[in-house]
Structure 1
Amino acid sequence: MHGNKPTSHICSQKKKNPLKYSLIDMASFLTYSLSLMKLLVFSSLLLILVSCFVKTSNAFEGRKDWTSAIGSHFHTVEISSLLPASVCTTSSIKGTSNKRQSTLEFYHRHGPCSRLGQDKANPTTIPSLSEILVNNEFHVKSIQARVNPNSNTNQLKNQKANLPVQSGLSLGTGNYIVTIGLGTPKKTLSFAFDTASDLTWTQCEPCAGSCYKQQDPIFNPSTSTTYCNVSCKSSECSQLFSATGNKPGCTSSSACIYEILYADQSFSVGFFSGDKLTIARDEFPNFLFGCGQDNEGLFGETAGILALGRHPISLISQTAQKYGKYFSYCLPSTPSQTGHLTLGKNGVPCNVKFTPFDNSQGPSFYFINILSITVGGHQLPIEQSVFKTSGCIIDSGTVITRLPPAAYATMRIEFRKQMSKYKIAPAFEILDTCYDLSGYTTITIPVISFTFSVNVKVNLAPFGILVAVSATTACLAFAPNWDVSDVAIFGNTQHKTFEVIYDVAGGKLGFGPDACQ
């Protein structure tokens, strides 16, 4: 058996029927908890922890003549390659050993590789790109509010009324799904993984409050011989406040109660618990997680959230003895491909260059420093103070990268200048630089590059520069923040084709260029 040593003295009661004694307590606690959450909806948010990855070269020195350097500063792109296929293609990690410690395949929740929504008797409505972008605003605003509690959340409130209720998309979680095992005997569950979350949670029977529809059978702790409730007197219970932003509760039977709240008013409330976690062939006894008894919101039929943050109760910290606080992922370039989440260091590409996390910004998110941005060989004239004012995180749950307003405006001007031969199309939701590509099968677009601390330079793939909104229209895959104080977010569209590596123990983030298909 692998994994950490069992945590001692965390459980208030081993089981036979571990929930029976406390359902009345839970019901009364839920009544109080839900009232409290309505008051705290914009003050307690959980989301995304992040980091950055890279391949280096020196930062550009001044403007270059991009018209004479098309080979190195431009991509030639087939428009059809930006669109997802209707069949699933298994991706691979290039240039690495197959002897990974623990590599899990994952997929986009709405693509053809996903098991979610493939029940023909009960089909799930796949949200449009417009719905995905609008919904993802809640995720972004949640991060902004958590990083900067004084940020303006009024715009978030105003946007809520316009959200499509039947989108089927989680408003507080990531888009990518990974499958792990929980309990004894093992029950297989599909989770959305999130680098900005600290508490892993799943829905649990008997759903004393309510449970939303999920693809897998809901976890029943009464059938697991290794399940236990965490005592509200334990040090582990007291860690919930820093992990979720909400103070834990306590039943009359001394069971620890967690609550977690998202910016769209989705939430999960239940018992803070321990049980055996299985990842591939590795087992971790007494893994701490939330066993949700009241769960409401649009969580996309996943079983819950797999937290990859830096907090002591995150999955990364709880499996540190085995995996060394080291993980990486390859996001699929399109929803019709699969990706990989790897825990542990073995097999990482040898050409990875690392940029340090910026720990001066605090321990909650994966902060990185942007030094410069280059478009088509032209380093943009952006003052360093623009990036330092807001800071930057890397986040697997944000779809489109958000930049400080001044940085985005400068990028947009240069990108439009270099794309002037293509017809401008109307804006699409938050994307305001779009092109009508009717009549083209291939186009030429400028390479966009980010340079991070220690001159680690990341040249984005075409998938990280343009997003197709139809068969003939594509838009620049960046958007501005609302305010100069809002944190910049290096979103998942820009992670594509890289193996993104989080060396949490080493305090650095790496990019394996062109490592993923």
Structure 2
Amino acid sequence: MDTGSSLTWTQCFPCSDCYAQKIYPKYRPAASITYRDAMCEDSHPKSNPHFAFDPLTRICTYQQHYLDETNIKGTLEQEMITVDTHDGGFKRVHGVYFGCNTLSDGSYFTGTGILGLGVGKYSIIGEFGSNFSFCLGEISEPKASHNLILGDGANVQGHPTVINITEGHTIFQLESIIVGEEITLDDPVQVFVDTGSTLSHLSTNLYYKFVDAFDDLIGSRPLSYEPTLCYKADTIERLEKMDVGFKFDGGAELSVNIHNIFIQQGPPEIRCLAIQNNKESFSHVIIGVIAMQGYNVGYDLSAKTAYINKQDCDM
């Protein structure tokens, strides 16, 4: 599930350059009577993903590059899918666009592919209306509850914030960060809420503001500063309350605690901040899944509004 990209894809058989799936077998187009090749328009050469249509074969090919250096290639197809409904029934949706990968170099992948929840062209979101929501429990707990709801049953409750929709992305506006006390930003900063990213990333200037304030809050020098702050576990476990969070336009807030701001990295006695310095030439902020544990994020795309709510994810 990736809110940072729009293309839904799976690995197709045969695939000579794909990672090994550990759960389900690769999708076999030849075994489906509802599968068909999709048409597309050539996209800009620098677009990501990039689509190209061959008028002779009438095949649309794509290439997608991810920030973790993963690359995929394949053909754009359409298929019928069946989904559960909130009343216990099911719904068939015809002609859903998806990528049929013939190359996947993401060696860390174990599942069948990615469900793209961006709002770009060919996104699955458009098949279910303008609303969707996701709720993330504790990701390290195998029995924790999580949910994804597409369409009218989406959970669009909580504190609202206006979002901009640009080039297939839903962009939040960050007004301040809270590290013990509120640090107001000179200008609003663009934020990508990205379930495809494990860690959160701050622009360099904002990261060092965060680090300085966090040092004061912890009251103990870290073991390291780069690529992120790391401490001895007993230093972190002494903290009863973490007053750290992100405040968005309109007052919606995402507060974090020990469980969704620190991760074990390296030796078991070391805990590192799940927020890193974005050293690329980006001025925006990325909020990853670790920070979103215990939250429901709902989207009403027609109203260009998102809702952030701290809650249990049991349905």
TM class by smaller structure: 0.7 to 0.9
Distance change >3 Å, CA 402–CA 257, structure 1 → 2:
closer
Structure with greater contact order relative to length (CA < 8 Å, sep ≥ 6): 1
> How far is the alpha carbon of 1:505 from its aligned partner?
2.5
Q: Do structure 1's residue 454 and structure 2's residue 250 form an aligned pair? A: yes
- Counterpart residue number, 1:330: 135
Q: Which amino acid aligns with 2:109?
A: G
> What SS does the corresponding residue of 1:336 show, helix, strand or coil?
coil
| Cross-structure match for 2:79 | 275
Task: Confirm whether residue 375 of structure 1 aligns to residue 179 of structure 2.
Answer: yes
| TM-score, length-scaled by structure 2 | 0.84
Relative to structure 1, the CA distance from residue 428 to residue 271 in structure 2 (aligned partners, 3 Å threshold; closer, same or farther) is same
2:273 aligns with 476
Relative to structure 1, the CA distance from residue 516 to residue 445 in structure 2 (aligned partners, 3 Å threshold; closer, same or farther) is: same
Structure 1 Cα separation of the partners of residues 280 and 68 of structure 2: 20
Give the Cα separation in 1 of the matches to 2:100 and 2:4: 19
> Aligned in 2, Cα 1:283/1:228: closer, same or farther, shift over 3 Å?
same
Contact preservation (8 Å) 2:175, 2:185: no
Shift of 1:441: 5.9
Distance in structure 1 (CA, Å) of the matches to 2:101 and 2:52? 14
CA distance in 2, matches of 1:264, 1:369: 24
CA distance in 2, matches of 1:418, 1:206: 54
Query: What's the RMSD between the two structures over aligned residues?
Result: 2.8
Letter of the 1:213 partner, please give it: A
**C-alpha distance in structure 1 between counterparts of 2:12 and 2:76, whole Å:** 11
* Number of residue pairs matched by the alignment: 304
Deviation at 1:294, TM superposition (A): 3.5
Q: Among residues 205, 210, 234, which one is paired with 1:411 in the alignment?
A: 210
Q: Distance in 1 between matches of 2:280 and 2:154?
A: 41
> 1:203 aligns to what?
11
Secondary structure of the residue that 2:240 maps to in structure 1? strand
Question: Alignment identity in percent?
Answer: 23
**Residues 289 and 446 of structure 1: CA distance in aligned 2, closer, same or farther (over 3 Å):** closer
What SS does the corresponding residue of 1:238 show, helix, strand or coil?
coil
**Cα 1:465/1:219, change in 2 over 3 Å:** closer
SS of equivalent to 1:196: coil
Q: Describe the shift of the 1:225–1:299 C-alpha distance in structure 2 as closer, same or farther (beyond 3 A).
A: farther
Deviations 1:249-273 (A, max 9, x none): 4273322223333456643333321
Contact 2:149 2:155 in 1 (8 A): no
Q: List aligned pairs for 1:39-438, cutoff 5 A.
A: 193-207=1-15, 209-215=16-22, 216-231=24-39, 237-238=40-41, 244-250=48-54, 252-262=56-66, 266-280=70-84, 281-317=90-126, 319-320=127-128, 324-337=129-142, 338=144, 339-346=146-153, 348=155, 350=157, 352-359=158-165, 362-376=166-180, 378-380=181-183, 382-385=184-187, 387-388=188-189, 391-420=190-219, 422=220, 424-427=221-224, 430-432=227-229, 434-438=230-234
Q: Is the 8 A contact 1:425 1:473 kept in 2?
A: no
- Deviation, 1:214, is 1.1
- Asked whether the equivalents of residues 74 and 100 of structure 2 are also in contact (C-alpha less than 8 Å), the reply is yes
Measured in 2, the distance between the counterparts of 1:439 and 1:417 equals 14
- Return the offset for 1:444: 2.7
Gap regions ≥5 residues in structure 1: 1-192, 232-236
Q: Deviations over 1:423-460 (max 9, x none)?
A: x342276222x222448864334311322111223322
| Long gaps (5+) in structure 2 | 85-89
Distance 2:311 2:273 in 1: 21
Residue type of the alignment partner of 2:113: G
8 Å CA contact 1:199–1:244 kept in 2: the answer is no
Is the 8 Å Cα contact of residues 240 and 248 (structure 1) preserved in structure 2?
yes
| Structure showing the higher strand proportion among its residues | 2
**Alignment match, 1:144:** none
Structure 1: how far apart are the matches of 2:274 and 2:114? 26
1:507 is displaced (CA, Å) by 0.9
In structure 2, the residue matched to 1:444 is 240
| TM-score normalised over the length of structure 1 | 0.53
- Aligned in 2, Cα 1:344/1:290: closer, same or farther, shift over 3 Å? same
Q: Once the 2 structures are TM-superposed, how far is the Cα of residue 311 of structure 1 from its aligned partner? A: 1.3
Change (3 A) 1:341 1:255: same
Match of 1:148 in 2: none
The one-letter amino acid of 1:327's match is F
SS class of match (1:455): coil
8 A contact 1:419–1:445 mirrored in 2: no
- Indicate the SS of the match to 1:409: helix
C-alpha separation in 1, matches of 2:203 and 2:275: 11
How far did residue 198 of structure 1 move? 1.6
- Deviation string 1:109-143 (CA, Å, 9 cap, x unpaired) is xxxxxxxxxxxxxxxxxxxxxxxxxxxxxxxxxxx
Aligned mates of 1:490, 1:219 — CA distance in 2: 32
Q: Distance in 1 between matches of 2:104 and 2:225?
A: 32
- Letter of the 1:384 partner, please give it: D
- Equivalent residue letter for 2:148: L
Structure 1 SS opposite 2:169? coil
Local SS of the residue matching 2:167: coil
One-letter identity of the residue aligned with 2:57? S
After superposition, the Cα gap between the structure-2 partners of 1:269 and 1:383, relative to the gap in structure 1 and judged at 3 Å, is closer
Q: Which structure dedicates a bigger proportion of its chain to helix? A: 1
Q: CA deviation at 1:314?
A: 0.4
Given that 1:331 and 1:340 are in contact with CA atoms closer than 8 Å, whether structure 2 keeps it comes out as: yes
Q: Residue 71 of structure 2 contacts residue 105 of structure 2 at CA under 8 Å; is this kept in 1?
A: yes
Q: Structure 1 residues 341, 383: closer, same or farther in 2, change over 3 A?
A: closer
